[in-house]
Structure 1
Amino acid sequence: MRPSPLDRPWREILFASVSRPLVDSARRLILGAAFVLASSIAASSVNAEETAPKVWTEVTIASEGSRPPYNYFDNNELAGFEIDLGRELCSRMKVSCRFVAQDWDGLIPGLLAHQYDAIMAAMEITDAAREKIAFTKPYVRMPSAFMASRDNVPADVSPAGLAGKRLGVESGGPHQAFLEDLYKQSEIHAYATLEEAVLDLAESRLDAVIGDKDALDEFIRTRHEAQNCVFVSDVPRDPVYFGDGDGVGLRKSDVALKAMFEKALDSVMEDGTFAKIRAKYFNFDIN
């Protein structure tokens, strides 16, 4: 006797009543959903890994090695103000520090190519540089100054005080623009180099010379032609002409590293360590 359908297990009856195409379709839907879920989990894991902040334990800093006293070579090793400052900053950031030499034209390309992590090379913070890299707050704001002969020191270096005076300046730089805009009553002489202007000042062909204080100071200390020259006065700093100063150059993506450098800079400024390092290389304030 053939068994009655009522004698068959209920599962057999259920699946016998469902067509094979519907079963296959359901299986495909389940497998597809599982694949999408697995892919989403994997993608989330990769994205989380990519966006996780880097933990900095070592920082490589590039410098030029040809701009004393900021950076130079001593026994084939990088040395100078920025090297000493960089080591102190790394110590406060609790990272190991390594310095590498890089020629000027290759500094920014090398940073962007991840050959090193930061630049400390007397690099000015300019709009053109900001388009490519980020900067910390400045650690140097080099003052500008007027220098004159010891025998003929002006009592007043304001535009009115130097009206009619012969002023020397390096051609094409911010100091020439500063003089031409503000010292219109003075006789302005532009020179190919600052050295030429200082030599004419020493020969009494000029009444004063304007320039970066570190460059003028080097002339006074190292050139016998400038031994009779003295600083008259610093020039009030105007970012429109003289920029924002020199900062640590960094990749724009390294936001955490920038914050670490700036925190360390604040620390060395506040506790007097910066002034002690500066005093080894400059006999005047630079920030």
Structure 2
Amino acid sequence: MKIKIGTEGAYPPFNNLTADGKLEGFDIDIARALCEEMKAECEFITQDWDGIIPALQAGKFDAIIASMSITEDRKKEVDFTNKYYNTPPGIVAPNDTDIAGVTKEDLAGKSIGAQGSTTHSAYAEQTYTDSDVRLYPTAEEYKLDIINGRLDAVTDDVIVLQEFLESDEGDCCKLVGTITPVEAIHGPGAGIAIRKGEDELREKFNAAIIALRENGKYKEINDKYFSFDAYGD
């Protein structure tokens, strides 16, 4: 069985392209382990985030493994496996910020950057209605703007933000706090997206996720990236 897997390649530490064009990250390692468990030959295809669901629907690949949150809106367009991880969102701001928390009031009057077409941008637009929410095509672009002083804060998955803060350019900023996920917006976690009606493929992925959790392979990959269990409750 051959499976083509779509991913973004611009969302470290989950999926990222190295300088020499190789894919790396938690999503990629999990995808490879799932393929091995399913005895499938897998090929990765990188795709810009904005066009990733249309590309799946058009048959460019068979599954999306790219930290895609399972949401009701997306479920109208694609089917999802069960989650393979669930980590909370967070807010990062410059070190000299006067932002003291993550509430609507804390961020009132501030400019907030987020990657567009994500649960994080949806949450920001619905919650921070007294703020200037600015959307970016990739996480890398909002990072540049906060480094250069063009944003008061950014929001994303806390793991993505921690990775940024630990990088050379991340010494500009600090984590203000984490946001309690709202299931109606954030969903129950990140899942693998497949085309509607491909139940057999979905169930093969689900069985493989369970197997990785049980055979220790998930923990082995998890511990390479995180100091806690990213699977969540």
1:144 matched to which residue of 2? 89
Partner of 2:218: 274
Gap runs ≥5 in structure 1: 1-56, 181-187
* Alignment of 1:97 onto 2:42: yes
Distance change >3 Å, CA 272–CA 232, structure 1 → 2: farther
What residue number does 1:28 align with?
Answer: none
In the TM superposition, what is the alpha-carbon distance from 1:72 to its structure 2 partner?
2.7
**Contact 1:149 1:229 (8 Å CA) reproduced:** yes
Number of aligned residues: 216
C-alpha root-mean-square deviation of aligned residues, in Å? 3.8
Equivalent residue number for residue 53 of structure 2 = 108
Larger Rg, first or second structure (1 or 2): 1
* 3-state DSSP of counterpart to 2:85: coil
Evaluate the alpha carbon distance shift between residue 157 and residue 270 of structure 1 in structure 2; reply closer, same or farther with a 3 A threshold: farther
Matched, 1:65 2:9: yes
TM-score by length of 1: 0.58
Change (3 A) 1:96 1:165: closer
CA contact (8 A) 1:143 1:286 kept: no
Amino acid aligned to 2:193: G
What is residue 262 of structure 1 aligned with on the other side?
A: 206
% identical aligned pairs:
29
Distance 1:98 1:230, change over 3 A: same
- How big is the shift at 1:77? 3.4
Give SS of 2:218's match. helix
What aligned pairs does 1:1-287 form with structure 2 within 5 A after superposition?
57-74=1-18, 75-147=20-92, 157=101, 169-170=112-113, 173=121, 174-180=123-129, 189-190=131-132, 192=134, 195=143, 196=145, 209=153, 211-212=155-156, 213-224=158-169, 226-227=170-171, 229-231=173-175, 233-282=177-226, 285-287=229-231
Contact 1:175 1:241 in 2 (8 A): no
Partner amino acid, structure 1, of 2:23: L
Q: Within 1, Cα distance between the matches of 2:217 and 2:60?
A: 29
Say which structure is richer in helix: 1
Q: Which has the higher contact order (CA 8 A, sep 6+)?
A: 2
Whole-angstrom distance in 2 between the partners of 1:112 and 1:255:
15
| 1:178-231 deviation line (CA, Å, top 9, x unaligned) | 345xxxxxxx643536545576699xxx7xx5622134223312255x537443
Work out the CA distance in 1 between the residues paired with 2:93 and 2:50: 35
Give the deviation of 1:93 after TM superposition.
1.7
Task: Give me the whole-angstrom Cα distance separating, in 2, the residues matched to 1:284 and 1:134.
Answer: 28
Q: CA deviation at 1:130?
A: 1.9
Structure 1 residue 146, shift from structure 2 partner? 4.3
SS at match of 1:120: strand
Q: Distance in 1 between matches of 2:48 and 2:93?
A: 35
Gaps of 5+ in 2: 136-141
Task: Determine the C-alpha separation between the residues in 2 that align with 1:105 and 1:80.
Answer: 20
C-alpha distance after superposition, 1:234-269 (max 9, x if no partner): 322221233343211112222111111011112223
Which has a greater percent of strand? 2
Matches of 1:244 and 1:144 in 2, distance apart? Answer: 13
Are 2:56 and 2:194, in contact at CA under 8 Å, matched by a contact in 1? Answer: yes
* Equivalent pair of 2:69/2:187 in contact (CA under 8 Å): yes
Tell me the TM-score normalized by structure 2.
Answer: 0.69
Quickly say closer, same or farther: Cα 1:199–1:245, change in 2 above 3 A. farther
SS at match of 2:69: coil
Pair 261,190 (structure 1): closer, same or farther in 2 beyond 3 Å: same
The CA deviation at 1:62 is 2.1
Q: Which amino acid aligns with 1:169?
A: I
The amino acid of 1:249's aligned partner reads A
